[in-house]
Amino acid sequence: MNASTIRTLDDLRKAFKRSEPFDLVHFYAHGGTDNLGHAVLQIGNEETVKFLDFESWQPNFTRRPLVILNTCDSAAQGTDSFESLVELFVERGAAGVIGTQCQVRNLLAGEVMVLFLGQFLRQASAGAALFSARQTLLARGDPRGLAYSLFASSDIRLALPVLDEGSA
């Protein structure tokens, strides 16, 4: 699996327009809605990506990646908005989406992904890896991992492991 980090709005636009063959797309950013209620993500140096930006780029995921929206409110559906990043990515070919139902802080976002990706990249299913991450946090007395939801079949997994059992 090739990995790349996209730090600017222009880089993101180019990657989506080229229909890069992603297996996993992970947004670790600020998210929410703008003052008109439109879904937005903030990447890089406070650049804002709007729902309509994603829609106009028409990403076409040929490899059916798992998309992780590790941002505040990325999967929350309110009565004042009809836009759904979860729905948009699934309509464009994502195998599934992981998103949050509320605001999450950086420390939690990082911890959940360390726990989740530590198993998912070893070829655990998305459902099992997310369940395990939540259970680990609950065992520590922290229920905040429950803010993460999987919108896909729980059996989604990578075709080949990226990490082996000995990897950190």
| pLDDT value of residue 79 | 59
Q: Report whether pLDDT(125) > 70.
A: yes
pTM: 0.87
Distance CA 60, CA 16 (A): 7
Say if residues 41 and 48 touch (Cβ distance below 8 Å): yes
Distance CA 64, CA 46 (A): 28
Please state the separation of Cα 71 from the chain's center in Å: 8
Distance CA 135, CA 148 (A): 12
Q: Report whether pLDDT(2) > 90.
A: no
| pLDDT value of residue 168 | 56
| pLDDT value of residue 83 | 72
Q: Report whether pLDDT(167) > 70.
A: no
pLDDT, average across residues 137-161: 92
Place of tokens 């070829």: 123
More confident: 73 or 130: 130
φ and ψ at residue 18, rounded to 5 degrees: -80, -10
Please state the separation of Cα 58 from the chain's center in Å: 18
Q: Report whether pLDDT(80) > 70.
A: no
- For the chain, the domains span 9-151
φ and ψ at residue 150, rounded to 5 degrees: -100, 125
CATH architecture of 9-151: 3-Layer(aba) Sandwich (3.40)
